[in-house]
Amino acid sequence: MLDPVTGEYRVVGPGHTFKSITEKISRIVLTTHTPVGWFFGLLLGGGGIALLLTAVTWLFLRGVGIWGLDMPVAWGFAIINFVWWIGIGHAGTLISAILLLFKQEWRNSINRFAEAMTIFAVVCAGMFPLIHVGRPWLAYWLFPYPNSMAVWPQFRSPLLWDVFAVSTYATISVVFWYIGMIPDLATMRDRAQSKFTQFAYGLFAVGWRGSVRHWMRYETASLLLAGLATPLVLSVHTVISFDFAVATLPGWHTTIFPPYFVAGAVYSGFAMVITLAIPIRKFYHLEDLITTRHIDNMGKVMLTTGLIVAYGYFMELFMSWFSASHWEYFAFWNRLFGPMGWSYWVLITCNIALPQLMWSRAFRVNPTLMFIMSFIINIGMWFERFVIVVTSLYRDYLPSSWGTYRATRWDYSTFLGTMGLFTFLFFLFVRFIPMIPMSEVRMLLPQSKVKPPAEPLGQPVHEAGD
Amino acid sequence: MPIPEGTYGLLAEFDTAGELTRAAKASYDAGWRRLDCYTPYPCEEAAEAIGFHRNYVPVITLIGGLMGLTAMFLLETWINLLAYPLNIGGREYFSWPAFMVPAYEWTILFAGLSAAFGMLAMCGLPAPYHPLFNAPNFRTASTDKFFLCLEARDPQFDATVSRKFLEGFSPVSVVEVEY
């Protein structure tokens, strides 16, 4: 909808003031009446955490043998889920950083929870390599530190690069999220009624008082963090793709991996943002702030990144023929028509065929259809990682060592458990932290602009003759 | 350090960013230097009006980033050449292209942390107490109101004259803030 005064597209529904926006968003947190549905969601997430704890405890007691890992498929669910979760996280950074740099103001109302999604997804992702190392209590050996064994990490391995990429990503995401939250925490402090709430928000608001000098430094720091997070997010998934691409294995050893992994990450991440945004706006009546325009724009981003991913798939196929390498050719024939070929066709259906429906505007502005589409894409993106990891491994050079891969119940419980953890953290977030950045949405209102004072009508500005 | 007592300043409340900016500009032009504006969202015009044109956050970030880059690159070089040389497939001990990846990540890590904590440090935060929090209406500064504070540290400050000066901008209210 166009704004009658400025002629620009409106991001926020009409008729809002600074106060109405602040009240609408802060009320969700400061209310004393927690919706029953929230407890239900938290319980659901808690159940998932219980499952995760069970699976991980059993894993620590028995070792990674309880998973379906074996020769020739030594990388299974752990790496698939790691890449899937971290990919989901990337849309949060894209929304908060890249769209900020491109001055896409519509992203202001969704960036806080997209960023929260990033952090929780990284928490889930980070768990998989840690529990996969076999002796998770020694996982700190991955970091370079002076030790009595006098050994140091091997800096030429992409797996070690991963340690630095993911730990940096987690740290910067948390810092970016927290810095962005300080002014809103100050608002919560000022609006809270009870002493305890005032104290708690006051503690985290670090005494923010909205001085314009502070705001200017804050804006600079936000822009710099965005400028730093942008190359970071690209490098994180690039490094993850190096885990595969640096190996000389048909199906992994390709130069298209870094860009196509990054595009795939953004693709699945936006799908996850939609999965979260549509129920939230419905449940908390935030249709004015997360409008159909947001869903429409996210649909366009998904369509674009989906096509980049499609290009990646096509290029992989093309290269398997063009390279004239027997092994490459076989790897792809096996991927498409081998015993696990069904997984490739699930991937093509979910990631390439069905998302083409998003060319239609009527589809993109329909929240229900987009909600379903977001699930389809996330299933497709999970299968993409499954296809890359499993179908490249289970039939290698020697037919005598061919095998198959079958995930066990512990694989499934761990995966479902991380979904529970994600849900649990997300429900805590929407209850205790303002999920839409109030200070940034205020800037979207037309009255935030500094205008010259209205000239009194009918009076000459300069008296003649003086 | 003795605990300061007496008046911190005079706080004028405005309804719009435009009124605040004009009042701030007029005060700055009248020679006020110890003054500050408080807004519910970043208001660049008001910062310009009180003569705040540049900040040092970018410099801090740059220094942090360079420190991260140097630290990681030297650490990798030292480990691979001196502390624990490993022959991996006959590759160079000084494999600088491979070292660039963790060094790049640490550049971003250090720069990001410097930007965030440098910003807080330059703002003098965390500061759990501030005299302005004593003003009863200052709570609305984080919701929808705009404030201009003329501080008592300024040599021009005089409780009566400065109040008259502020009232000339027709603010919603002018309150005296105590330490």
CB A432 within 8 A of CB A42: no
**Cβ neighbours of A452 (radius 10 Å):** 8
Residue B87 at interface with chain A, using a CB cutoff of 8 Å: no
Give how far B159 is from chain A: nearest CA, Å: 22
Range with top average pLDDT, A263-267, B43-47, B61-65: B61-65
Residue B118's alpha-carbon distances to A169, A459, B69, B90, B115, in angstroms, are 19, 51, 18, 43, 5
What's the whole-number mean pLDDT along residues A272-290? Answer: 84
Predicted confidence (pLDDT) at residue A461 exceeds the cutoff of 50: no
Helices A158-191, A195-204: axis angle to 10 degrees equals: 140
Residue B38 at interface with chain A, using a CB cutoff of 8 Å: yes
Cα(A145)–Cα(B51) distance, integer angstroms: 47
User: Within the 137-176 window of chain A, which residues sit less than 8 Å (CB to CB) from chain B?
Assistant: 144, 150-158, 160-161, 164-165, 168, 171-172, 175-176
What's the whole-number mean pLDDT along residues A39-48? Answer: 91
DSSP A214-255: HHHHHHHHHHHHHHHHHHHHHHHHHHHHHHHHTS--TTT--T
Q: How much is the pLDDT for A464?
A: 43
Task: Specify the DSSP class assigned to residue A139.
Answer: G
Among chain B residues, the shortest Cα distance to A442 is held by B41
**Which stretch of DSSP H or E encloses residue B11?**
strand B7-14
Q: Rounded to 5 degrees, what are φ and ψ at A85?
A: -65, -45
**Which stretch of DSSP H or E encloses residue B7?**
strand B7-14
CB contact under 8 A, A228 and B112: yes
Tens digit of pLDDT for each residue in A209-251?
A: 888 889 999 989 988 998 898 889 889 989 989 988 888 888 8
Per residue, the 3-state secondary structure of A373-435, as one string, reads: HHHHHHHHHHHHHHHHHHHHHCCCCCHHHCCCCCCCHHHHHHHHHHHHHHHHHHHHHHHHCCC
Give how far B160 is from chain A: nearest CA, Å: 24
ipTM: 0.91
Predicted confidence (pLDDT) at residue A197 exceeds the cutoff of 90: no
Tens digit of pLDDT for each residue in A182-191?
A: 998 998 888 8
Contacts of A137 (CB under 8 A, 6+ apart): none
Give how far A235 is from chain B: nearest CA, Å: 8
In total, the C-beta contacts within 8 angstroms joining chain A to chain B are: 204
Q: Rounded to 5 degrees, what are φ and ψ at A88?
A: -60, -40
Q: Where are the domains of chain B?
A: 7-53+132-178, 57-122
Q: What is the percent of chain A with per-residue pLDDT over 70, rounded to a whole number?
A: 94
Per-residue b/e over B96-125, b at no fewer than 16 CB within 10 Å? eebbbbbbbbbbbbbbbbbbbbbbbebbeb
CB B26 within 8 A of CB B40: no
Q: How confident is the model at residue A5 (pLDDT cuts 50, 70, 90)?
A: low
Predicted confidence (pLDDT) at residue A1 exceeds the cutoff of 70: no
CB contact under 8 A, B144 and A19: yes
Q: Rounded to 5 degrees, what are φ and ψ at B9?
A: 170, -175
pTM of the model: 0.87
Q: Where are the domains of chain A?
A: 18-446
Tell me: domain A18-446, CATH 1.20.1630.10, correct? yes
Position with higher pLDDT, A187 vs B178: A187
DSSP-based three-state secondary structure for A195: helix
Average pLDDT value over all residues in chain A: 85
Predicted confidence (pLDDT) at residue A264 exceeds the cutoff of 80: yes
Tens digit of pLDDT for each residue in A287-340?
A: 777 888 888 888 998 999 999 999 999 998 898 889 888 888 888 888 889 888
Closest by CA to A93, choosing from A61, A118, A129, A64, is: A118
Among chain B residues, the shortest Cα distance to A220 is held by B57
Residue A439 at interface with chain B, using a CB cutoff of 8 Å: yes
Residue A280's alpha-carbon distances to A71, A90, A379, B147, in angstroms, are 44, 20, 21, 34
Predicted confidence (pLDDT) at residue A4 exceeds the cutoff of 70: no
CB contact under 8 A, B42 and A161: no
Residue A202 at interface with chain B, using a CB cutoff of 8 Å: yes
Q: How much is the pLDDT for A134?
A: 81
Tens digit of pLDDT for each residue in B128-163?
A: 888 888 888 888 888 888 888 888 888 888 888 888
Residue B125 at interface with chain A, using a CB cutoff of 8 Å: yes
CATH of domain B7-53+132-178: 3.30.70
Closest by CA to A302, choosing from A313, A310, A290, A292, is: A310
A442 → closest Cβ in B41, B80, B123:
B41
Predicted confidence (pLDDT) at residue A34 exceeds the cutoff of 90: no
Q: How much is the pLDDT for A463?
A: 42
Residue B82 at interface with chain A, using a CB cutoff of 8 Å: no
Average pLDDT value over all residues in chain B: 87
Q: How confident is the model at residue A68 (pLDDT cuts 50, 70, 90)?
A: confident
